[in-house]
């Protein structure tokens, strides 16, 4: 799969057209209900989610998504003088609470949760840096070395015509080579370094990079979409405390909130440009029901974040160790595998990582393929994340069983029907979300 050649599958779209042409509205509604129930069965009731880009909202936060706020237009900022619509006094208080919680969790002076996703947050920041601070050249991570496309030519920097150079990375550990970067940077003097990775096993050297680029006034953007919950829980270094100028993130993933995005920063110089770029330039009405759910997710992380995220790292290391014990090539075994929620297996079989992930999906285990150094069209990285199973209270003995199934299915020495039965049985033991203000822990 080449990401810049994305197109909808026309067969699926044509099937939908046929269904529309031969069904009544009532029948289509029943079909919709059946598809949602089927999804819940496959992904939740009988499946085990190891997708690193996902983290489950609590049941209480999910209920807030269906509140009346979801039907209301929000246009503008907090306060009667700033909204374009009336009747939003309570929404103002909710959004204000969300902001002050984010500021506390990320130990920053300013935060804005109105973004539709992490990529949307990055779009706003790249636009701000170019239009208000005349930044047009940057260094970032190659997508085959852990980098994320939303910080590269395929994302907002490409649309905004940034000149992009790549950060030097050790292909074995995927860690930034600071000596090589310092040598490169003194000639290029990038005005911006963007640290954002879909594959991140260890903390980035934020302070060291910022010290280097500060010599010519360079700025540092940290896209912490995957690390947001870890940072809020205090188990991953806070990039803003280490010198990052601005921080973007998804509010899903490890943060375990609704799908969306946020921006955090300290310097007042960013406040007006960020706010006015969000609204009215790149956002109309943001979803107030999402803000309500996000506020509760913030409260849950405030109360249980450290315990939740620390347990996630322990679970990731145990999963990695068990996968390696079963003969899989797990990245960074010499460095302890991981210091985040992620585990990565290098899969060099001819089928490639994507087809391997679909084989796992056929028995109810969900992961995804990622590019690794030297990959081209055929990806070789299988990325696992443990945020969801951690919130569901997975035990050490269950991780042992899960690793045996994953390794056995990948290696072709585990009966698929038996593997499916084991996964269904494991999934049935996960009933309540943990780390919640009501129920669970």
Instruction: Say how far apart CA 212 and CA 219 lie, in whole Å.
Output: 10
The residue with greater pLDDT, 432 or 336, is 336
> What phi and psi, each to the nearest 5 degrees, are found at residue 114?
-80, 0
User: What is the number of domains present in the chain?
Assistant: 2
Average pLDDT score over residue span 241-247: 98
Mean pLDDT score across all residues of the chain: 95
- Could you tell me if 118 and 263 lie in one domain? yes
- Residue 35 located in a structural domain: no
Q: Name 377's Cβ contacts closer than 8 Å, sequence gap at least 6.
A: 1, 2
- Could you tell me if 98 and 225 lie in one domain? yes
Looking at residue 1, what is its pLDDT?
44
- Residue 36 located in a structural domain: no
Q: How many other CB atoms are there within 10 angstroms of residue 11's CB atom?
A: 8
Global pTM value? 0.96
- Could you tell me if 208 and 163 lie in one domain? yes
pLDDT category of residue 441 using cuts at 50, 70 and 90: very low
- Residue 416 located in a structural domain: yes
Calculate the dihedral angle through the C-alpha atoms of 143, 146, 147, 150, rounding to the nearest 10 degrees. 90
pLDDT one-digit tens code per residue, 346-387 = 999 999 999 999 999 999 999 999 999 989 889 999 999 999
Domain ends where: 251, 268, 298? 298
- Could you tell me if 179 and 310 lie in one domain? no
Q: Name 177's Cβ contacts closer than 8 Å, sequence gap at least 6.
A: 168, 169, 170
Q: Give the HSE-up count for residue 117: Cα atoms under 13 Å, Cβ half-sphere.
A: 7
Q: What CATH number has the domain bearing residue 349?
A: 3.90.1150.10
Q: What does each C-alpha distance from 275 to 68, 110, 125, 134, 317 come to in angstroms?
A: 25, 11, 10, 18, 40
Looking at residue 4, what is its pLDDT?
58
- Residue 282 located in a structural domain: yes
- Residue 3 located in a structural domain: no
pLDDT category of residue 439 using cuts at 50, 70 and 90: low
- Residue 2 located in a structural domain: no
- Could you tell me if 210 and 342 lie in one domain? no
Average pLDDT score over residue span 120-131: 98
Looking at residue 3, what is its pLDDT?
60
Work out whether the CA dihedral 300, 301, 307, 313 comes out positive or negative: positive
> What phi and psi, each to the nearest 5 degrees, are found at residue 137?
-130, 145
Contact 243, 220 (CB under 8 A): yes
Instruction: Say how far apart CA 134 and CA 291 lie, in whole Å.
Output: 32
Looking at residue 205, what is its pLDDT?
97
- Could you tell me if 48 and 119 lie in one domain? no
- Could you tell me if 357 and 228 lie in one domain? no
Domain ends where: 280, 298, 316? 298
- Could you tell me if 401 and 257 lie in one domain? no
Looking up tokens 């204000």 gives 96
Looking at residue 172, what is its pLDDT?
84
- Could you tell me if 177 and 220 lie in one domain? yes
- Residue 423 located in a structural domain: yes
pLDDT one-digit tens code per residue, 247-302 = 999 999 999 999 999 999 999 999 999 999 999 999 999 999 999 999 999 999 99
pLDDT one-digit tens code per residue, 400-414 = 999 999 999 999 999
Looking up tokens 């969306």 gives 260
Cis peptide before 280 (omega within 30 of 0): yes
- Could you tell me if 291 and 348 lie in one domain? no
> What's the chain's Rg over C-alpha atoms?
22
- Could you tell me if 168 and 286 lie in one domain? yes
Percentage of the chain surpassing pLDDT 70? Answer: 98
Contact 167, 176 (CB under 8 A): yes
Q: Name 137's Cβ contacts closer than 8 Å, sequence gap at least 6.
A: 162, 163, 164, 165, 188, 190, 191, 192
pLDDT one-digit tens code per residue, 34-72 = 999 999 999 999 999 999 999 999 999 999 999 999 999
Write out the residue range of the structural domain in which residue 282 sits.
Answer: 59-298
- Could you tell me if 287 and 359 lie in one domain? no
Average pLDDT score over residue span 328-346: 97
Question: Does residue 440 carry a pLDDT above 60?
Answer: no
Domain ends where: 236, 263, 298? 298
- Residue 217 located in a structural domain: yes
In 3D space, the residue among 111, 100, 387 whose CA is nearest the CA of residue 230 turns out to be 387
Q: What CATH number has the domain bearing residue 129?
A: 3.40.640.10
Question: Does residue 335 carry a pLDDT above 60?
Answer: yes
């Amino acid at each position: 799969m080449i990401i810049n050649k994305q197109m909808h599958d026309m067969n699926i779209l044509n099937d939908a057209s046929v269904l529309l042409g031969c069904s009544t509205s009532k029948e289509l509604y029943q079909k919709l209900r059946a598809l949602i129930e089927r999804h819940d069965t496959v992904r939740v009731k009988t499946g085990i989610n190891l997708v690193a880009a996902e983290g489950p909202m609590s049941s209480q936060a999910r209920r807030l998504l269906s509140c009346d706020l979801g039907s209301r237009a929000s246009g503008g900022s907090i306060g009667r003088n700033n909204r374009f619509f009336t009747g939003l006094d309570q929404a103002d208080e909710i959004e204000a609470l969300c902001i002050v919680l984010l500021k506390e969790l990320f130990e920053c002076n300013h935060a804005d949760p109105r973004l539709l996703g992490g990529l949307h947050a990055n779009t706003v920041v790249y636009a701000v840096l170019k239009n208000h601070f005349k930044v047009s050249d940057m260094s970032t991570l190659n997508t085959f070395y852990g980098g994320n496309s939303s910080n590269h030519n395929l994302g907002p920097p490409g649309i905004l015509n940034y000149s992009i150079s790549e950060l030097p990375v050790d292909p074995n550990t995927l860690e930034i080579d600071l000596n090589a970067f310092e040598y490169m940077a003194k000639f290029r003097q990038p005005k911006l370094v963007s640290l954002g990775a879909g594959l991140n096993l260890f903390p980035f050297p934020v302070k060291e990079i910022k010290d280097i680029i500060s010599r010519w006034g360079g700025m540092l953007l940290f896209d912490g979409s995957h690390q947001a919950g870890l940072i809020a829980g205090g188990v991953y270094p806070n990039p803003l405390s280490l010198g990052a100028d601005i921080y973007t993130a998804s509010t899903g993933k490890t943060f375990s909130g609704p799908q969306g995005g946020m921006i955090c920063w300290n310097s007042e110089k960013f406040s007006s440009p960020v706010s006015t770029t969000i609204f009215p330039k790149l956002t109309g009405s943001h979803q107030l029901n999402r803000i309500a759910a996000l506020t509760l997710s913030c409260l849950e992380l405030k109360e249980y974040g450290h315990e939740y995220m620390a347990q996630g790292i322990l679970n990731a290391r145990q999963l990695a160790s068990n996968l390696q014990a079963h003969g899989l090539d797990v990245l960074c075994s010499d460095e302890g595998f991981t210091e985040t929620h992620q585990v990565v297996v290098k899969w060099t079989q001819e089928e490639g990582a994507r087809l391997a992930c679909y084989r796992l999906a056929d028995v109810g285990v969900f992961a995804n393929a990622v590019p690794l150094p030297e990959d081209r069209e055929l990806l070789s990285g299988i990325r696992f994340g443990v945020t969801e199973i951690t919130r569901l209270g997975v035990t050490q003995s269950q991780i042992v069983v899960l690793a045996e199934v994953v390794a056995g299915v990948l290696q072709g020495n585990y009966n698929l029907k038996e593997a499916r039965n084991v996964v269904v049985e494991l999934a049935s033991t996960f009933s309540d979300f943990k780390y919640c203000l009501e129920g669970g822990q």
